[in-house]
Amino acid sequence: DGFSFNGVDGLGHQDFLQKIRHEAFKQGKTRDNTWMADLTALHLSGEALTWFETLPDDVQQNWNQLKRAIIQKYSRQNTESAPN
pLDDT tens for residues 5-15?
999 988 999 99
pLDDT tens for residues 26-73?
999 999 999 999 999 999 999 999 999 999 999 999 999 999 999 999
pLDDT tens for residues 66-75?
999 999 999 9
CB 36 within 8 A of CB 18: no
pTM, 2 dp: 0.86
**How far is it, in rounded angstroms, from Cα 78 to Cα 80?**
6
